[in-house]
Structure 1
């Protein structure tokens, strides 16, 4: 399908050259018709533009179909993007249901800069563990004030609606990834209509958004839609990305919503299509062991070779080893305490006894660790799983008990297993099998407040440089508060300049401030740039 879409998109490309009304920059011409955006003082916005037919009814659990409708009236592009239906971890209370099923849109943000006639483009994929999140959760005003880049935010299906899979051709999964892919094709074809440069597109994401970006680059034809990519605090080889027991989970989903003991995927899919979206998404609560653990009960899968319009049919590690992926400059990163995202919730004090949840780990470690650290489905036997749980606890905790005093050791374990080790592995694979530049950085500069405090519901704990602390300096987020320190303002500007220079570089060079990233292709030891409040320096990453 994607090859056919590409031909169709190219056939419309000529329309882009004169799509902006010079007398009224809020009015834009697309193949679907005219649209009108909003003037936001120092930037223009064009929001909630559909790139796919609504994935409802018979199009639920199917690959997205390109949006074909024609607008007879001027399309109102001033409405904020709709949240895709989800079970959102960041909603307090028992009912975490939010959003709508009809949500496949992109939103374009263009700075006012009279010195430029066109702009490089940043395509943004939000995070949220493939389960929740939305295009508007991260802001765009920092980027718009710099005035050098057009930003496009992508909405895509999440949770069971985006990733339920029976592992066969009838319900192959990865619908959310296919949404992202179609959105990138839409951007490639249409962004010139907004003053964007279709030859200069950078794709960026954080956490599950970063893993999504990496997965997109593992398709060889990604180089036709983007010039470079950045995966921040998430990549395709992290252990929480590729799901291994998706088939069992899909049939359990059917049982929960009233499909009975469906014996085959055709029957299951037909039944699931007959249920309400809210029933399906609310069933997520039944897959959580406690709190929001595991944080990714539904996510990307390896599809069977006979799946129609398959996104990937090999594990990411095998794809990289084959060398059959897009040869575009790519950067990957982690934070020194990224594991706070998964660990901080264990510091929340229980209403029943005022005790931190992590104290219960002393008795429940062998039950909970495989879910917390995503090896429940990768071990052959319970003994193998228990042995690994025991090894991890001994390595990071020794004979110490789980408590608030030993929290940092637990957080370090989570950082290594869920984020740092995957970064090291991806760099090692690329230096052996890649051809285009591959870069890495580690960020170490704690925000005053962030995700850790939010999830732990506490302000008396220092979490270090937590998940999102660097990303929210590019795309502002309420989790860290509206104001930046003076050092963060400098770092934010350096990051934004880094994006602009990276997408425009003729040879894929990447810089931050006065530091030049070291390319890892063919290197003996992985290299990464350490970014702190005091500056930056290149370091070797020990394997």
Structure 2
């Protein structure tokens, strides 16, 4: 037995020693060297942290090419996050010099070549976020190592500007906005030009992201500036059509920020804003306030992309022809709205406090204000149609979460999926619902036992956390993580989540307008995991029934 163990240890060390590595890599800016991490017998991953893909950006300007460097850049430390407000919104942190990316390259016996490339964009409501180092305590959520190693893909994560510095816009050519989207585009273009040196295939780039990152991948697919650069896109819990993903009245927000920093709001406003310090501008962003049923928090995300006539030349619904040859995989979590609605109506998340029906009507009124009181009545009748009489608290609370999930995530995602399928030429379309029960739900835990996947619950499974921190998870979570990594990386390889390096547990049918199929992702998948017409009644309610009501004379803030 001891002899066997010694032989095994020798084999392992030989494997580690002979695992391939890229060593020093030549990029357009200069040479870089990362770190090789042995993972087992003839398996390793090269990790490059903090490679600049653009110069330090000028305030409220598009990114510019990096001037390059002499010698070998030691790419072993994460760069700083892009400047943003702290969680308490009382200070700022991060740097203006933040346009850097990180790369994970898996190897077997030989150095890899022609691998598919997956570029990750983080979420955070376009206000906060980062993929540079620990997200919480020492837990680095966005490590590409598990995806790269298991799926045989190169993973790239990117920094982009957020908040005022990323999305302040005057609504005209003076300050067009969308700087964070231009940053993402600069990173995509850099990867396209340089990734072959890292063993990647520049003609096979997949974008993936969650929440504002999911909306970002959607915007990138719709922009004419990415023509020929992007082959596939994955949007998790966020698309360009989400109500929070576009600023309807950027001028108003710019004037508020100008007043906050002591700038005039006349034709000298832009010059004054550009001469203000980055920290001052960052802190002048409107507070993200706790919502209420009358003013839902998700409608407070006021710094986001805009139609600028350039990067986003028109309303996103009119741009799907630009994604006609892009494969698109998009989905939501079954209770994506839980995080938001339980802030707007705190009793929804409480196991002891009752939720008044009136609060649901107020939330519906805020979401559907352009449809007036008729809209509220019609929507409420639809949402309460299956209630017991009188309704139980579970009926009311579940419906409250469903209303938020539908309005904030499900309906816009479904509209995007239909538009993609309708406009597609060679591009394929796939739709999913993640329904794995929340780990925060159940007896003795904070969530109601009926809560499924909440917002951001998908991240841990996509990035393989059940494998890297096994004690925090059960076997079904490891199963789900392996399923999601298989589907995601197969999709990156072939444009089809069923075909690639990894075995898919259940066949995932393509979505078409005549066969609107989706896959229900969870830890116990079987032949019943395929559904169709996801929440069709409610998609129709928001996209066709309410808009066809007689016009209301209610005016909205956006007019």
TM class by smaller structure = 0.7 to 0.9
Match of residue 303, structure 1, among 300, 308, 313: 308
Q: Find the residue that maps to 1:342 and give its secondary structure.
A: helix
Q: Match for residue 66 of structure 1? A: 65
Give the drift of 1:387.
Answer: 5.0
> Is 1:528 matched with 2:524?
no
Q: Find the residue that maps to 2:123 and give its secondary structure.
A: coil
Asked whether the 8 Å contact 1:446–1:469 carries over to 2, the reply is: no
TM-score by length of 2: 0.78
Q: Deviations over 1:439-488 (max 9, x none)?
A: 111111124149x99xxxx725443211122232112579x986332112
Q: Match for residue 484 of structure 1? A: 473
Asked whether the 8 Å contact 2:79–2:100 carries over to 1, the reply is: yes
Q: Find the residue that maps to 2:187 and give its secondary structure.
A: helix
1:199–1:485 distance in 2 versus 1, CA, 3 Å: same
Match of residue 452, structure 2, among 449, 453, 464: 464
1-side partners of 2:170 and 2:182: how far apart? 17
Q: Match for residue 143 of structure 1? A: 147
Q: Find the residue that maps to 1:446 and give its secondary structure.
A: coil
Q: Match for residue 540 of structure 1? A: 532
Q: Match for residue 307 of structure 1? A: none
1-side partners of 2:20 and 2:489: how far apart? 28
Asked whether the 8 Å contact 2:116–2:200 carries over to 1, the reply is: yes
Match of residue 37, structure 1, among 27, 34, 39: 34
1:40–1:490 distance in 2 versus 1, CA, 3 Å: same
2-side partners of 1:330 and 1:218: how far apart? 11
1:370–1:193 distance in 2 versus 1, CA, 3 Å: farther
Q: Find the residue that maps to 1:40 and give its secondary structure.
A: strand
> Is 1:133 matched with 2:126?
no
Give the drift of 1:184.
Answer: 0.2
Q: Find the residue that maps to 2:69 and give its secondary structure.
A: coil
2-side partners of 1:45 and 1:389: how far apart? 52
1:325–1:143 distance in 2 versus 1, CA, 3 Å: closer
Q: Find the residue that maps to 1:80 and give its secondary structure.
A: coil
Q: Find the residue that maps to 2:480 and give its secondary structure.
A: helix
Q: Find the residue that maps to 1:49 and give its secondary structure.
A: strand
Asked whether the 8 Å contact 2:440–2:447 carries over to 1, the reply is: no
Q: Find the residue that maps to 1:153 and give its secondary structure.
A: strand
1:177-326 equivalences under 5 Å are 177-220=181-224, 222-260=226-264, 262-264=265-267, 267-286=268-287, 288=289, 290=291, 293-294=298-299, 296-304=301-309, 310-320=310-320, 323-326=321-324
Asked whether the 8 Å contact 1:219–1:326 carries over to 2, the reply is: no
Farther off after superposition, 27-36 or 148-157? 27-36
> Is 1:122 matched with 2:129?
no
Give the drift of 1:188.
Answer: 0.7
Give the drift of 1:200.
Answer: 2.1
1:247–1:25 distance in 2 versus 1, CA, 3 Å: same
Q: Find the residue that maps to 2:203 and give its secondary structure.
A: strand
Give the drift of 1:333.
Answer: 0.5
1-side partners of 2:48 and 2:187: how far apart? 15
Q: Match for residue 432 of structure 2? A: 441
Q: Deviations over 1:1-56 (max 9, x none)?
A: xxxxxxxxxxxxxxxxxxxxx9973422212222221233432211111111112x
Q: Find the residue that maps to 1:464 and give its secondary structure.
A: coil
Asked whether the 8 Å contact 1:223–1:328 carries over to 2, the reply is: no
Asked whether the 8 Å contact 1:400–1:406 carries over to 2, the reply is: no
1-side partners of 2:356 and 2:179: how far apart? 37
Q: Find the residue that maps to 2:262 and give its secondary structure.
A: coil
> Is 1:52 matched with 2:54?
yes
Q: Deviations over 1:212-268 (max 9, x none)?
A: 1111111345352222111111111122212211111111111111113x213xx22
Q: Match for residue 547 of structure 2? A: none
Q: Match for residue 510 of structure 2? A: 519
Farther off after superposition, 288-297 or 467-476? 288-297
1:241–1:147 distance in 2 versus 1, CA, 3 Å: closer
1:425–1:96 distance in 2 versus 1, CA, 3 Å: farther
Q: Match for residue 333 of structure 1? A: 331
1-side partners of 2:361 and 2:249: how far apart? 22
1-side partners of 2:506 and 2:464: how far apart? 24
TM-score by length of 1: 0.80
Q: How many residues align?
A: 485
Q: Find the residue that maps to 2:432 and give its secondary structure.
A: strand
1:401–1:170 distance in 2 versus 1, CA, 3 Å: farther
Gaps of 5+ in 1: 1-21, 305-309
Match of residue 93, structure 2, among 88, 91, 98: 98
